[in-house]
Amino acid sequence: MSTAKKEYKRVTVKSLVDMKQQGEKISMLTAYDYSMAKIVDGANVDVILVGDSASNVMAGHETTLPITLDQMIYHASSVIRAVTRALVVVDIPFGFYQSDPKEALRSAIRIMKESGAHAVKVEGGSEIKESVKRILNAGIPVMGHLGLTPQAIYKFGTYTVRAKDKDEAEKLIEDAKLLERLGCFGIVLEKIPAELTKKVSEELSIPTISIGGGGYADGQVLVIHDLLGMTHEFNPRFLRRYMNLYEDMSEAISKYVADVKSRDFPSEEEQY
Ligand code: KIV
């Protein structure tokens, strides 16, 4: 049997299911603009999520609730222009799919048409079943998101681990199975116990992607600003920082300020 990994020149929703079947873990990261997306795609990340976390890290809001559909489309179209390999998934923001399946479909169509994205993501299970069905019936791939769903933060009250009790865990498993039955191509599991992620991942044939859900998921996702250490005040246990850009950038920028003040910049060689 060959152990060589299959090369994916262009990642599709089908590639992700193949990866799960082959036991290859899926890498997913957020990006919200052209320059960052070019780096993320060039580093062979399988899925780029234009997350509504843009509301926090790009716009400085406390929650993901304020970001609008127009703003998500702006971020997504910037990302799409940079990407040649990754599958690009875009969050439908809060208030644009929950109240009415027709509105959900209109929102998904706007994202696909105006940004060129490849799929959309929505938060929740049985409560949004009709919206998910509508979007899928139009041929738009849908990714689910269960566990800690930040668009419902005011219902939860805190960002602590979800589904620790039996009832919530059972509902999550039922919701995951429902999303699979409806035709979703994958599900993000946010901040739930690792054993629950294991159970869900074993019971589904579509991939699970964890953020704070542990290593049994079929893939992992992080917010790029957290991975790079730009958000230095956010330190959840699940986060592994690969850089400390907040400090490195502050140091570089302070040096630039000092060089301008001292007239060291620009030098003879740096002018015409
Ligand atoms: O918006 C986002 O970045 C997300 C991830 C946390 C999965 O939904």
Asked whether residue 165 carries a pLDDT value surpassing 70, the answer given is yes
Best substitution site from 211, 224, 231, 239 to test ligand 1's pocket, by max atoms within 8 Å of Cβ?
211
Token readout for 30 is 């957020």
Residue nearest to atom 4 of ligand 1 (CA): 51
User: 253 exposed, middle or buried (CB, 10 Å; 0-12, 13-18, 19+)?
Assistant: exposed
Q: What's the 3-state SS for 39-105?
A: HHHHCCCCEEEECCCHHHHCCCCCCCCCCCHHHHHHHHHHHHCCCCCCEEEEECCCCCCCCCHHHHH
d(CA 226, CA 203): 30
- Taking residue 221's Cβ as centre, other Cβ atoms within 10 Å add up to 24
Query: pLDDT at position 202, please?
Result: 98
Residue nearest to atom 8 of ligand 1 (CA): 51
Best substitution site from 64, 159, 191 to test ligand 1's pocket, by max atoms within 8 Å of Cβ?
64
Report, as an integer, the average pLDDT of 208-230. Answer: 98
Q: Which of 43, 191, 41, 221 is nearest to 118 (CA)?
A: 41
Asked whether residue 133 carries a pLDDT value surpassing 50, the answer given is yes
Going from the Cα of 249 to the center of ligand 1, the distance in angstroms, rounded, reads 24
Count CA atoms within 13 Å of residue 235 on its CB side.
3
Going from the Cα of 1 to the center of ligand 1, the distance in angstroms, rounded, reads 37
Q: Which of 201, 66, 204, 179 is nearest to 128 (CA)?
A: 179
The DSSP annotation for the chain comes to ---PPPP-SS--HHHHHHHHHHTPPEEEEE--SHHHHHHHHHTT-SEEEE-TTHHHHTT--SSSTT--HHHHHHHHHHHHTT-SSSEEEEEPPTTSSSS-HHHHHHHHHHHHHHH--SEEE---SGGGHHHHHHHHHTT--EEEEEES-GGGHHHH-S-SPP--SHHHHHHHHHHHHHHHHHT-SEEEEES--HHHHHHHHHH-SS-EEEESS-TTSSEEEE-HHHHTT-STT---TT---S--HHHHHHHHHHHHHHHHHTT-SS-GGG--
**CATH architecture designation of domain 13-241:** Alpha-Beta Barrel (3.20)
Going from the Cα of 205 to the center of ligand 1, the distance in angstroms, rounded, reads 22
Asked whether residue 13 carries a pLDDT value surpassing 90, the answer given is yes
Asked whether residue 43 carries a pLDDT value surpassing 80, the answer given is yes
Query: pLDDT at position 45, please?
Result: 98
Q: Delimit the domains of the chain by residue range.
A: 13-241, 244-272
Q: Are strands 142-147 and 26-30 parallel, antiparallel or unpaired?
A: unpaired
Report, as an integer, the average pLDDT of 3-9. Answer: 78
d(CA 201, CA 204): 5
Residue nearest to atom 2 of ligand 1 (CA): 51
Average pLDDT, the chain: 97
Segment 223-257, tens digit of pLDDT: 999 999 999 889 999 999 999 999 999 999 999 99
Token readout for 127 is 């409560």
Query: pLDDT at position 7, please?
Result: 87
Atom of ligand 1 nearest to the CA of 209: 7
Asked whether residue 37 carries a pLDDT value surpassing 50, the answer given is yes
Q: Are strands 186-190 and 219-222 parallel, antiparallel or unpaired?
A: unpaired
Asked whether residue 4 carries a pLDDT value surpassing 70, the answer given is no
d(CA 9, CA 270): 41
Q: Which of 62, 168, 190, 247 is catalytic?
A: 190
| pTM over the 0.95 mark | yes
